[in-house]
Amino acid sequence: MARNTSRDGRPCSLALGHLRRGPQCWPGGTGRPALLAATWRLRRGPRCWPGGTTPRSPPTPRNPPLGKILCGLGALVVAIVVAGCAAPEFTYVTDGSANTYFKVPYAWHKISDGSLAAEFRSPGSMFGGASGLWDTAYDAAPAPSAAHLFSPTATEPFAFAFVAPLSPSGSNTMSYNGLRDVMLPVTSAARQAAARSKFPLTGFRLLRDTRLALSQGVHGVWDTFEYTYPGGITDTFDQVALTDADNTQLYVLIMHCLASCYSQNQREFSTIMSSFTVRSP
C-alpha cells in the first residue's frame, strides 16, 4: 500500500489553507474526500496527492509563431483589397454641359447612342432636328434593347433621360401642364386631343402629380401614371420634367415597365427619380 509521502520522503501536505487546518495527510493513503475534491476545483490546492503523485500543471501558453501572425495579416490585407475592389452600387449618369445627373443601379446596361438614335430620334420625331440635344438610356433587362423605350413588354425597368433647348415659342408657352404632357398625354385636355387622333393607349390612371421647386429657379413636375396597351397590357410610367427659371431648357427623366414590375421595384424607381438633379448655369 502506498504511503502518504512525497518523492523526497516527507509527509504530503494536504492543508486546505484558510478553509481547514486538518491532518496533513489522510491516514492510510486513502483517496481525498469529497470536501477536498470540491476545494480542488475552487483552488489549485494540494501540492501532491496521496501516494506521492503531483497534479499536472496546465501548459504554459506560447506566443503564436511569426508565420501564423504574418499569414493572418496577409488574409486581412486581401480582405480589405477585395472589399475595395467590389463593384460600386450605382452608375452616375451626367451631362456636364447642362449640369444634370442621375444614378442607376450599377448592373444596368447603357443603350448605345446609335441604337437610341434609331429608336427615338428618327426623322419626323419631335426631337429629330433639335440642336444641343443630350439623351441617354439604361435598361435593367438581361438582354438590353432600345426597343424597350416604349415597349409594352418591358418586364424590367427602363430609364430614358434627355436635355433639350426650348424654342422661343416653346419657351413662351411652357407651363406645368406642358411639362406633364412632354412625353405622353397626362392632362385631361391632352388625352382628349390624343383620343381624337387615334392614340392607341387607353385606361389612363394617375398615381402621382407633384410640383417640384429646385434651386436656382429650376421647377417642374413629377408624375406617375398608368396606360394600357392594345392587348390589355398595363404599363406604369414615372416621369420628372423640369425647366430652368427662364424656360429655355427642358430636362426630362422617364422610367417605365409593366405595372407588376413597377409594384415590385417601386423603391428602386423612387431612388432613381429622386436622384435626378439639375443645377441651372
User: 44 falls in which pLDDT band (50, 70, 90)?
Assistant: very low
In a domain? residue 62 = no
Indicate if the pLDDT at residue 144 is higher than 90. Answer: yes
Residue by residue, DSSP assigns the chain as ---SB-TTSSBPP---TTS----SS-GGGPPPPHHHHHHHHHS---SS-TTS--PPPPPPP-PPPHHHHHHHHHHHHHHHHHHHTSPPSEEEEEEGGGTEEEEEETTSEEPPHHHHHHHHS-TTSTTTT-TT-EEEEEE-SSS--GGGGS-TT--S-EEEEEEEEPPHHHHHH--HHHHHTSSS--SHHHHHHHHHTT-S-EEEEEEEEEEEE-GGG-EEEEEEEEEE-TTS-EEEEEEEEEE-TTS-EEEEEEEEEEHHHHHHTHHHHHHHHHH-EE---
- 127 pLDDT more than 90: no
Higher per-residue pLDDT: 173 or 233:
233
Residues 179 and 118 placed together within one structural domain of the fold: yes
Q: Looking at the structure, do residues 142 and 254 belong to the same domain, yes or no?
A: yes
**Mean local confidence (pLDDT), 43-52:** 45
Pairing of strands 158-165, 109-110: unpaired
Same domain assignment for residues 261 and 171: yes
Which pLDDT score is estimated for 36? 36
Tens digit of pLDDT for each residue in 74-99? Answer: 555 444 444 456 678 999 999 888 88
* pLDDT at residue 245, rounded to an integer: 93
Q: Compute the C-alpha angle 16/21/25, nearest 5°.
A: 70
Summarize the confidence of residues 166-172 as an average pLDDT.
90
Q: What is the mean pLDDT of residues 35-48?
A: 41
Q: Of the candidates 43, 45, 47, 36, which has an alpha carbon nearest to the alpha carbon of residue 7? A: 47
pLDDT at 217 over 80: yes
Residue 182 has pLDDT above 90, yes or no: yes
Percent of the chain predicted with pLDDT > 70: 64
Same-domain status, 157 and 225? yes
Is residue 9 pLDDT above 60, yes or no? no
In a shared domain, residues 232 and 98 = yes
pLDDT at 266: 97
pTM of the predicted structure, to 2 decimals: 0.68
Chain-wide mean pLDDT for the chain?
78
Distance CA 60, CA 249 (A): 78
User: Quick one: 33 and 160 in the same domain?
Assistant: no
What is the per-residue pLDDT for 207?
Answer: 98
- Domain end, chosen from 56, 72, 101, is at 56
CA proximity to 108, closest of 88, 130, 132? 88
Total Cβ atoms within 10 A of residue 38: 12
Q: Are 188 and 206 in contact (CB under 8 A)?
A: no
More confident: 30 or 231: 231
Residue 78, in any domain of the structure: no
∠ CA 4-10-16 to the nearest 5 degrees? 65
**Average pLDDT of 164-192?**
94
| pLDDT exceeds cutoff 70 at 19 | no
pLDDT at 97: 84
The reply to whether 95 and 216 lie within a common domain is: yes
pLDDT score, position 98:
82
- The yes-or-no verdict on residue 8 having pLDDT over 60 is no
Q: Domain of 201?
A: 90-278
Residues 246 and 118 in one domain: yes
First-to-last CA distance in the chain?
105
| pLDDT for 62 | 59
Assess whether pLDDT exceeds 60 at residue 59.
no
Decide: 167 and 136 in contact? Cβ < 8 Å. no
The sign of the torsion formed by the CA atoms of 147, 151, 155, 159 equals positive
Tally of domains in the chain:
2
Distance CA 10, CA 242 (A): 100
Residue given cell 406617375 in the structure block: 224
Which of 13, 34, 56 represents a domain boundary (last residue)?
A: 56
- The answer to whether the CB of 231 falls within 8 A of the CB of 148 is no
Same domain, yes or no, for 158 and 103? yes
